[in-house]
Structure 1
Amino acid sequence: MVIGVIDTGITPTHPSFQSFNEVSAPPVNWFDNCSFGQDVCNNKLIGAMAFQNGNNPSPLDDIGHGTHCASTAGGSPVYDAGILGQARGTAVRTAPRAHISAYKVLYGGQGWDYDFLVGIDQAVRDGVDVLSMSLSSGAKNFLDSGIAVSSFYAITKGIVSCACAMNEGPTTKDPIRWKTGQQAKVTVCCANLASSTDRRIKVTVELGNGMEIDGESSYQPDIHNATNLELVFPRATGRDSDLQCSSLNPIDVKGKIVLCMVGPISNMEKGELVKAAGGEVMIVMNNIKYGLTMFADPHVLPAAHISNFDARRLVSYVQTRNPTASIVFKDTQFGASPAPCIAFFSGRGPSQYNGGIIKPDIVAPGVNILAAWPVEVGPNPTGNTTIQRVNITNQRKQNRKKT
Structure 2
Amino acid sequence: MERLIPLGLIISLFLFFPIATSLPASGRPRTYIINMDKSAMPAAFSSHHDWYTSTLSSLAVLSQAHLDQLHELSSHLATYPETFGHLYTTYTPTFLGLRKHYGLWPASGFGDDMIIGVLDTGIWPESESFNDEGFPPVPERWRGACETGTEFNLSYCNRKMTGARSFSKGMQQEKQNISKTNDYDSPRDFISHGSHTSSTAAGSSVVGAEYFGYAKGKAIGMAPKARIAMYKVLFFDESYDAAATDVLVGMDLAIEDGVDVMSLSLGFIETPFDENPIAIGAFAALKKGIFVSCSAGNNGPHAYTILNGAPWITTVGAGTIDREFAAHVTLGDGELTVIGKSVYPENLFVSNVPIYFLHGNRTKELCEIYSLDPEEVAGKYILSEAVGAIFSSDEAQFFRPTDFFKPFVLVNPKDGDLVKDYIINSKNATVSIRFLATLLGTKPAPQVADFSSRGPDRISPWILKPDILAPGVDILADWTPNRGFVPIGDHDYLLTDYAIVSGTSMSCPHAAGIATLLKSTHRDWSSAAIRSAMMTTADVIDNANGRIIDMITGVAGTPLDFGTGHINPNKAIDPGLVYDIEIQEYINYLCGLNYTSKQIRTTTGMRHFKCDSATLDLNYPSFIILLNNTKTISITFRRELTNVAEGSSVYRAVVRTPDSFRHESCSAT
* TM score, norm. by length of structure 1: 0.74
Aligned residues: 349
SS in 1 for 2:300: coil
Q: How does 1:200-239 map to 2 (within 5 A)?
A: 200-204=324-328, 212=338, 214-217=340-343, 219=345, 221-225=347-351, 227-230=353-356, 236-237=364-365
Aligned to 1:242: 371
Superposition pairs for residues 297-336 of structure 1, below 5 Å? 297=402, 299-304=404-409, 327-329=433-435, 331-336=437-442
Structure of greater relative contact order (alpha carbons < 8 Å, 6+ residues apart):
1
Query: For 1:79-115, what per-residue CA distance to the aligned partner results, in whole angstroms no more than 9, with x for missing partners?
Result: 1111112222211210000000111111132222121
Alpha-carbon displacement from aligned partner over 1:63-85 (angstroms, at most 9, x marks no partner): 11110000000111001111112
Deviation at 1:355, TM superposition (A): 2.8
Q: Secondary structure at the match of 1:71?
A: helix
Q: Give the equivalent residue in structure 2 for 1:49.
A: 165
What's the offset of the Cα at 1:354? Answer: 1.1
Does 2:306 align with 1:173? yes
Task: Quote the offset at 1:213 in angstroms.
Answer: 6.1
Task: In structure 2, list runs of 5 or more residues that go unmatched.
Answer: 1-113, 173-177, 179-184, 375-381, 489-494, 507-669
Shift of 1:293: 3.3
Partner of 1:37: 153
Given candidates 260, 268, 272, the residue that maps to 1:141 is: 272
- TM-score normalised by structure 2 residue count: 0.46
Matched, 1:58 2:186: yes
CA 365–341 in structure 1, closer or farther in 2 if over 3 Å, else same: same
Q: Against the structure 1 CA distance between its residues 313 and 397, is the aligned structure 2 distance closer, same or farther, given a 3 Å change threshold?
A: farther
Check 1:32–1:357 CA distance in 2 against 1; reply closer, same or farther (3 A cut): closer
- Residue equivalent to 1:188: 315
Alignment of 1:350-361 (within 5 A): 350-361=456-467
Query: Quick one: percent identity of the two aligned structures?
Result: 34
The structure 2 residue matched to 1:20, chosen from 133, 136, 141, is 133
* CA distance, structure 2, for counterparts of residue 359 and residue 82 of structure 1: 34
Confirm whether residue 118 of structure 1 aligns to residue 249 of structure 2. yes
Q: Note the alpha carbon deviations across 1:161-181, whole angstroms, 9 max, x for none.
A: 00011111123332523344x
Q: 1:226 to 1:330 in 2, by over 3 A?
A: farther
Distance 1:179 1:310 in 2: 47
1:107 is aligned to 235
Amino acid paired to 1:338: P
Q: Are 1:295 and 1:367, in contact at CA under 8 Å, matched by a contact in 2?
A: no
Matched, 1:164 2:295: yes
Tell me by how many angstroms 1:378 deviates: 5.4
Q: CA deviation at 1:42?
A: 0.4
C-alpha distance in 1 between matches for 2:481 and 2:373: 27
Q: Distance in 2 between matches of 1:293 and 1:299?
A: 12
Q: Is the 8 A contact 1:83 1:298 kept in 2?
A: no
Instruction: Quote the Cα distance in structure 2 between the aligned partners of 1:327 and 1:127.
Output: 53
Q: Identify the structure with the greater helix proportion.
A: 2
| 2:447 alignment partner, SS class | coil
| Counterpart for residue 281 of structure 1 | 388
1:339 aligns with 2:445: yes
Tell me which moved more, 130-139 or 164-173. 164-173
Give the match's secondary structure for 1:177: coil
Whether 1:366 aligns to 2:472 is yes
Matched residue type, 1:44: K
Q: 1:235 to 1:149 in 2, by over 3 A?
A: farther
Task: Please say which structure displays the higher CA radius of gyration.
Answer: 2
Q: Tell me the distance in 2 between the aligned counterparts of 1:392 and 1:218.
A: 12
Q: Which residue of 2 aligns with 1:6?
A: 119
- Structure 1: which 5+ runs fail to align? 181-186, 246-255, 259-277, 381-386, 399-403
Cα shift at 1:219: 2.4
